[in-house]
Amino acid sequence: MDDLRLRFPNEPEYLQAVEEVVTSIEEVYNEYPAFERMNLMERLCMPDRIISFRVSWVDDHGRVRNNMGYRVQHNNAIGPYKGGIRFHSSVNLSILKFLAFEQTFKNALTTLAMGGAKGGSDFSPRGKSDMEVMRFCQAFVNELWRNIGPDMDVPAGDIGVGGREVGYMFGWYKKMTREFSGTFTGKGLDFGGSLMRPEATGYGNVYFLLNMLATKGIDLAGKRVAVSGAGNVALYTAEKLIRLGAKVVSLSDSDGSLIIPDGLTAEQFGQVFELKTSYRGRLSELADEDWCEYHPGKRPWQLVKADIAMPSATQNELDGDDARALLAQGCIAVSEGANMPSTPEAVHEFLNAKILYAPGKASNAGGVSVSGLEMAQNSQRLSWTAEEVDEKLKGIMADIHAQCMRYGKEADGFCNYVRGANTAGFMKVARAMMAQGIV
Ligand code: NDP
Ligand code: 2IT
């Protein structure tokens, strides 16, 4: 860690993600002296390759705009590079390196053959017209297309990248290569997309939560669940929770939090879903509804009493104070939809309190898992029914849970899911790297 801090002093998110993994796998790593002889951990801490480029595009007023674009290909020991693309003004190399690093271990947990990658740009689709987004996506892929491919690197969505953006990127990729291939996942259903991919991350997180609750014989119905975010992951998390009888008591976006003291009804959820998906509205537009309170500039954690928290917006959105507030209110479980939403201090609080705490690389792996299933369907030129994909997703989440238990269960019965997920993911990648030599 000291060496990495000296080499990459300006990459706090990346150092945070690496530190969590290396400290939690230390014991297992030291059981295999051959790993150290091959300098395996240091190799695994450095991405295989980083591609960075300027993206120039023309806005609706004829002005030339410039953004940075990146793809971090972290590790392909167990399968082609695979991971989302993020379009957000905050995107930088530290964030993409942390996400690609996490993706490698997450993808190893899915039981499918996928390596880890992440890409993106500091371009923000917010407030841009469809045609501006299209021109940006085309300019982005114009640089990236040579470095991706169905057996090389398969991008998908993440923050700011949904079906619209994937469609535009796929269209330009197809034009450049003159091939129709499964190079992107999260595609539209009419051109190779998988049923259930939009729902997969949120549903998968709820399935993971159900697996955790089952170890304690706790029922989800009637539980108060604080969710953050109001994008792809948060909305499908909320939808599944409501269907299973839980009370969704919060949602948020980058401007503030919506608190629903009695829990969202299916009808109210429909209103939020419509607002967010049909015209990309803001939660603040619901401020005058009598069933909710809107708190500008606030995160939900200290505003509600919740049994369960499912942070599903962004990294470091739940800090030590938030964690202590949740625990003081009797929170029994935290299942992360976002990548690294809890700060190290918050993680420490959850582990110390021995509640059910699932790190994103385990609990949000349903999204990339169904991406893997989309790749499998594309290769076969077949598509499976929603029920088939959902059943496979449930099976994968149960398998990830079992892997966490295998490596994370302690003598007193407590499961440290952080250690479990990191160790299980690491061991699979490590074995594959050892077998393939110094590459
Ligand atoms: P979306 O762009 O669909 O939604 C993101 C949500 O989080 C929006 O409500 C957004 O608010 C809010 N948000 C984004 N950045 C910030 C910020 N800096 N501060 C506060 N709120 C913010 O993205 P997704 O739902 O796809 O992604 C959410 C999280 O889940 C990310 O961490 C992502 O990496 C992770 N994830 C996503 C997967 C997927 O399949 N999509 C799979 C696994 C993990 P606003 O609209 O105001 O920007
Ligand atoms: O963080 C993630 O796992 C994703 N954004 C999904 C990646 C994918 O390739 O589906």
User: pLDDT below 70 — which residues of the chain?
Assistant: none
CA of 413 to the centre of ligand 1 (A): 34
Which pLDDT score, from 0 to 100, does residue 426 have?
Answer: 98
Q: Name which residue sits closest to atom 10 of ligand 2, judged by CA.
A: 368
Which of the ligands is closest to the CA of residue 104?
2
To test ligand 1's pocket by mutation, which of 254, 273, 280, 340 has the most ligand atoms within 8 angstroms of CB?
Answer: 254
Give Cα separations from 7 to 2, 12, 44, 46, 335 (angstroms): 9, 12, 15, 11, 33
Does the Cβ of 24 fall within 6 Å of ligand 1?
no
Which pLDDT score, from 0 to 100, does residue 320 have?
Answer: 98
CA of 337 to the centre of ligand 2 (A): 11
Does the Cβ of 337 fall within 6 Å of ligand 1?
yes
Angle at which helices 197-214 and 386-408 cross, to 10°:
40
d(CA 409, CA 417): 8
Structure tokens, 325 = 């507030």
Which pLDDT score, from 0 to 100, does residue 392 have?
Answer: 98
> H-helix or E-strand containing 240?
helix 232-243
- Residue 325 one-letter amino acid: A
Structure tokens, 129 = 């017209």
Which pLDDT score, from 0 to 100, does residue 245 have?
Answer: 98
Rg (CA), the chain: 21
Which pLDDT score, from 0 to 100, does residue 370 have?
Answer: 98
Which pLDDT score, from 0 to 100, does residue 302 have?
Answer: 98
Does the Cβ of 371 fall within 6 Å of ligand 1?
no
pTM for this predicted structure: 0.98
Does the Cβ of 338 fall within 6 Å of ligand 1?
yes
Question: What mean pLDDT is reported for the chain?
Answer: 98
To test ligand 2's pocket by mutation, which of 81, 103, 107 has the most ligand atoms within 8 angstroms of CB?
Answer: 103
- Counting atoms of ligand 2 from 1, which one is nearest the CA of 99? 1
Which pLDDT score, from 0 to 100, does residue 143 have?
Answer: 98
- The runs of H, that is alpha helices, within 110-182 are 130-144, 163-177
Q: Name which residue sits closest to atom 4 of ligand 2, judged by CA.
A: 84
Strands (DSSP E) found in 47-204: 49-58, 64-75, 81-87, 116-121, 153-156
Q: Which residues make Cβ contacts (< 8 Å) with residue 96, sequence separation at least 6?
A: 70, 72, 86, 118, 119, 120
d(CA 372, CA 366): 10
Around Cβ 214, how many Cβ atoms within 10 Å?
Answer: 13
Does the Cβ of 93 fall within 6 Å of ligand 1?
no
